[in-house]
Structure 1
Amino acid sequence: MALKHRPATWPWYLLLAAILIGLVAGLWVATKRVHYEWRWERVPQYFAYRAEVPQESPIAGRVSAIQAVGALSRVVVTPADGGAPVVLPVETVQVAVGDTLDQEDSVGDNHEWRIGPLTQGLWVTIWISFVSGLVGLLIGLITGLCRISDNPVLRGLAVIYIELIRGTPLLVQIFIFYFFIGTVLNLDRIVAGIGALVPHPT
């Protein structure tokens, strides 16, 4: 009995390697033609950044003194009516001694750490996922009990609900819930997102 000859597979591996090399070369040529300059130093600010918070004068008056205390400066504002002066600690001074200020005029800036949009978006995503998971668990439990119920009305409603949710794409459900139901009922966008992302009952 003659042994079957296995066809050589190395040409296919060679073809696969050629395709991958061609893809890498094409991407490299495309990136060189785009002339895009990656600014990686800007990435950290999308996670956290130091924001400039203006320090406003609570009274109208005149800047009587500026005292440097370590990294901070104290701007002394004397009220126009001759009352007790107000001391405002700032990191960056934007006024000079003798300047006249109105109420809520900025005398300088302070810096404080704030979360960036990516960190805030991550937190909102986790929060929406957690709440929608709990709501989906409750809805799935109720729907499952109705599905195995002897009552034909409850069983029929459960079947219709399950088939309707399973039979439509999630993106369509999000659009309907957010732009139609959310607009008609004037729902908050977080509430609309939680309602649209409730898991499908099984």
Structure 2
Amino acid sequence: MELRLHGGPDGPSLHRPDAAFDPWQLAWQPAAPRAGGEVVTPQAALAALAAARLLRGVPVAVIGPREASAEELAAAEAVGHGLAQAGLVLLCGGKGGAMEAACRGARRAGGLTLGLLPDEEWQGANDHVAIPLATGIGPARNAILARASVALIAVGGAYGTLSEMALAMQFNRLVLALGRAPEVLGVLRCDSPEAAVAHVARHLLGMS
């Protein structure tokens, strides 16, 4: 499906042959074909709409272990960076390890980071969380994270990550896995951070 971005006095608009994209509702609306415009990738389309402040900032969760390997930290940082480049909001558990790496990557790309903390106070967040949300409910916050995200990317992990993945599946979220993330029925495996970000972008545009 070809995506075309059109300029206009009120900012860019995204079209496909039979519809126009509503960036606030994240939904396609029937529309007559429109000539011209620039052919764009899903990530570039979302980035342009976000830059014009037209795209609603729904969060994409990145999860993984606090005791992450060097490979997992690099992958999480790349995922966070890619999500921010696509104009997407990063949601995580707000602590260290893979969560901190994802936030670091997102902030390096100018993205917005939210941390849903198990702690009772916001100061428990890592230094790269722009909006720390202290829940005070411990591991039960995993359910809120899974429900609040529109998609979830797991980078490695063990039991905590497994619970978040399973809950997200129960909530009918898109769940993607990288590296040594736990095996969960229905979760889609990606071979690189770039592939995971591309899949999320296609999902938000109703292309997967």
Q: Highest CA radius of gyration, 1 or 2?
A: 1
Same fold (TM over 0.5): no
TM value normalised by structure 2 = 0.21
Give the structure with the higher percent helix: 1
